[in-house]
Structure 1
Amino acid sequence: MSSLADPVSPPPSPGSQANAIAIGLYGSAGRMGQAITLMLADEGIALAGGADAGDDPAPLARMADVLVDFSTPSAMEANLAAARAAGTPILIGTTGLTRAHHAAIEAATRDVAVLQTGNTSLGVTLLSLLVREAAARLGAEWDVEIVEFHHRHKVDAPSGTALLLGESVAAGRGTALGEVRVDSRAGLSGARTEGTIGFASLRGGSVVGDHQVVFAGDGERLELGHRGDGRVIFARGAIRAARWLAGRPPGRYSMIEVLGL
């Protein structure tokens, strides 16, 4: 990853001309699928089609230039397998994934271009970079707590975005999130262990997504955050990422690369 002080290089050329691409949507009937569909017309991008629960994902994978998956964890593996068989690049925005899902994604990157992210917002993408830089410079003596707030219907916690930000903190410190993650505290939980990364999940109302990363030092706090006011921000980022991903060779890609960082 480049430093904030490094010059921003332009994104590479494959897929950048992508007004001609056709996007296939897995989870097209969901909230994100509908938001992306509405925005495609404004972006001048064709919709190759959509597939949802009970549909065969293979035909869509063969028709589309690039696939976008905002389905469910239970459907994602079949969608990924279809993309892999067809050699079609795929953006995976589905959250709540298990280790088995991530292992399948890693295996698929040998045959197809895959961009898997917990959040397609361009603002959150930049936030993740700022968080990593802060963690690297402040060190483990600064306590880190990640607070996320979502609508009452969200089924997974912590959110994919919160975990993405936690991964950024861990990467900045040169450690693995799984070794330092603390999801909840109740009762006599004891004093905080240095170097841990805490998560707190709030649910209620119609909140689209608020995230705050708190770095707490002795006598001072640094707070970095993002508030999402509507799903249009995620749809816009997903379309930009899909446009960028089209035509890429097999491998794993990130939203930070989409921004050219």
Structure 2
Amino acid sequence: MTDIVIIGAKGRMGATLVRLVQESDELNLSAVMERSGCEQGLDALGCVCGTSPDEVLVKVPGAVIIDFTAPAATLRLLETASITGNPVVIGTTGMTADDLVKVEEFAKKVPVFLAPNMSVGVNVLLKILPELVRMLGPAYDMEMTEIHHNKKVDSPSGTALKLAECMAEARGLVYDEVKKHSRDGIVGARTKDEIGVMAVRGGDVVGDHTAYFFGPGERIEVTHRAHSRDTFAQGALRAAAWLADQKPGKVYCMADIF
């Protein structure tokens, strides 16, 4: 039985995680957290609840934390978890390069798992897209689109960035040097190496990502569509059960589980 702590338990992803943990025979809901002012009703879940990692984590030693919140909140959580020793599964997106360096430092003290997308299908894409890039060769222009619900706060999505980065790396390019996250006005012809990533927002779309390969006389599209948040939540819970038995020292990812 793996003890689980859910951060942001009343949010879209948090509520999904709470439900799935409660339905599981192999997981135990040890604690939940919400930001101050939003914690009403959490005590009905029958577990430790609160608004501060300092007050909650000391009550659930060894429990694995799952966090899908925001970069600043995640880093504060890691600071406390690195003291209490609670492993942390991070699904938070929108982190900067500096944020990721800090995550790596915390991972030296406590087991940390980080994935911008917990879906098994997306992580399989991360494996096969580089091979497609190499087989098609440099004659094919690479672009990416992503679609999400109208409440998403970061753009482009962490998943789109990760997919585009793996495509750039497969072609021997440095992503930050070739990325084009928007095009507006007279931008000139597309350069040979640039990779455009376009974000679309609307409705309640859980998440669509399409990688495009535009070649002479043909176009290849590889699309992943998430139909339910359960997809990501199940991946995060799988990661949590796995992380419970790991040691500090690196930032783990889905590839380590596979």
Number of residue-to-residue matches in the alignment: 240
- Displacement of 1:137 in angstroms is 3.1
Question: What is the CA RMSD across the aligned residues, in angstroms?
Answer: 1.5
- Displacement of 1:73 in angstroms is 2.0
SS at match of 1:241: helix
Spell out the pairing of 1:58-73 with structure 2 (5 A cutoff).
Answer: 58-62=54-58, 63=60, 64-73=62-71
Spell out the pairing of 1:4-19 with structure 2 (5 A cutoff).
Answer: none
Work out which of the residue numbers 50, 61, 74 in structure 1 matches 2:32. 50
Partner of 1:40: 21
Correspondence 1:106 to 2:104? yes
- Displacement of 1:147 in angstroms is 0.4
Structure 2 unmatched runs, 5+: 37-50
- Displacement of 1:78 in angstroms is 0.6
Partner of 1:23: 4
Q: Kindly indicate whether structure 1 or structure 2 has the higher relative contact order, using CA contacts under 8 Å at least 6 residues apart.
A: 1
- Displacement of 1:59 in angstroms is 4.1
Partner of 2:254: 255
SS at match of 1:100: helix
- Tell me how far apart the structure 2 counterparts of residues 65 and 222 of structure 1 sit (CA, whole Å): 44
% identical equivalent positions: 39
Q: 1:189 to 1:66 in 2, by over 3 A?
A: same
- The answer to whether the 8 Å contact 1:144/1:197 transfers is yes
- The answer to whether the 8 Å contact 2:139/2:215 transfers is yes
Structure 1 unmatched runs, 5+: 1-19
Spell out the pairing of 1:80-229 with structure 2 (5 A cutoff).
Answer: 80-229=78-227
- Tell me how far apart the structure 1 counterparts of residues 56 and 134 of structure 2 sit (CA, whole Å): 42
Q: 1:173 to 1:113 in 2, by over 3 A?
A: farther
- The answer to whether the 8 Å contact 2:209/2:223 transfers is yes
- Tell me how far apart the structure 1 counterparts of residues 251 and 168 of structure 2 sit (CA, whole Å): 19
- The answer to whether the 8 Å contact 2:57/2:84 transfers is yes
- The answer to whether the 8 Å contact 1:89/1:247 transfers is no
- Tell me how far apart the structure 2 counterparts of residues 171 and 60 of structure 1 sit (CA, whole Å): 41
Which letter does structure 1 place at the counterpart of 2:206? V
TM-score by length of 1: 0.87
